[in-house]
Amino acid sequence: MHNIIINFGTFLERFRNFFSFETKAREIYFRNFAYGPADTMTLLKTFNLDIIRLKFVYTMKKIFALLAIASMMAVACGKDNNDPKPDNGEYVKPIEIDGDFSDWAKLDSKKVAVAKTLTDDETSYTALKTVMVYADKNSVFIRFSFDKDQMSMDYAPFHIWIDSDNDESTGGYAGNFTESSIDVMLEGVFIDGSEFVSYDPSVYQWIGEPHASGWFWDELLAGGSGLCSGAGNGTEYEIELVRELFPLGQLPDEFRIGFDIQYVDGEDWNTVGLLPNGAPTNDNAGGLAPMLKVVTVK
């Protein structure tokens, strides 16, 4: 008898489209069909073998696909908050202002500016215990701890002092730090009525003579502008300052900053916590320290 050729191309093409992998159409040749059942069994065995191969390849592809997905999930879950640039380029905020400070531990400690108070025996104004500052291109994040026994827990004003142009020849307000080059002051409260409130301060610009002392400030923004937000828990508090809302334009990549907590008694405001602080000496009777230098993480 003439050779009989059975082409299973169409059949296997459907398998390929369904399972999304490539295979070649197979042709199974039968010769001398008259020889009977033996060759028919060969056909069936060959056909079954192809099906088994298809199932095996499909199963392996599913396994590889699942492993790839698991690997991508592991990489995604393993990313820390210190990298604000995911693969798709979307900004991810490294710190959430929610009173949960665990995300601070994920930052690179070398990129966090830190100031710690000296002891009561070494200096004055120790109600402000520690301050940490982390700045990226979008925001400046501040975390501080305080001694509630040295301050009022009914009403707690908090100042942020900024040398916003990183230029010691400008600004003023001598008396808090070794530099007298503060350009901007933020004044708001983080405790009101014995409860933590969001820090959303008024913003003032120095208008006095360079390096002068005294209270010469002009209001740039009233409280509630949205420049800052804050949240606290226990004896700690965190703040976010949004750089694009800063009233004097973008902060430079490097700037200097300082902080204090005030105690209010009627009309009298008194500093009870100041950072950075220093120990008094013969040449530095006030125990003034340099402001904290902050370098923006890029």
Q: In residues, how long is the chain?
A: 298
CATH architecture observed for domain 101-295: Sandwich (2.60)
Which pLDDT score, from 0 to 100, does residue 71 have? 55
Which pLDDT score, from 0 to 100, does residue 288 have? 94
Enter the DSSP assignment of 169: T
| DSSP tally for the chain: helices H, then strands E | 2, 15
Question: Over its length of 298 residues, how does the chain's per-residue pLDDT go in tens digits?
Answer: 444 344 444 444 544 444 444 444 344 333 444 444 445 455 445 545 555 554 544 555 555 555 555 555 554 444 455 555 555 678 899 999 999 999 999 999 999 999 999 999 999 899 999 999 999 999 999 999 999 999 999 999 999 999 999 999 999 998 899 999 999 999 999 999 999 999 999 999 999 999 999 999 999 999 999 999 999 999 999 999 999 999 999 899 999 999 999 999 999 999 999 999 999 999 998 889 999 999 999 9
Instruction: For residues 123 and 258, give the distance between their C-alpha atoms in angstroms, rounded to a whole number.
Output: 16
Taking CA 258 as the corner, what is the angle to CA 252 and CA 260, rounded to the nearest 5 degrees?
A: 145
Listed residue (250, 256, 258, 261) closest to 160, CA to CA: 258
Taking CA 244 as the corner, what is the angle to CA 164 and CA 102, rounded to the nearest 5 degrees?
A: 90
Residue pair 292/133 in contact by the 8 Å Cβ criterion: yes
Which pLDDT score, from 0 to 100, does residue 60 have? 58
For the chain, the domains span 4-78, 101-295
Q: At what angle do helices 9-19 and 37-78 cross, to 10 degrees?
A: 20
Which pLDDT score, from 0 to 100, does residue 43 have? 46
Residue pair 168/178 in contact by the 8 Å Cβ criterion: no
Task: Report which residue type is found at 64.
Answer: F
Q: 38: which 2 tokens?
A: 């033996």
Going 124 to 125 to 130 to 132, the CA torsion angle's sign is negative
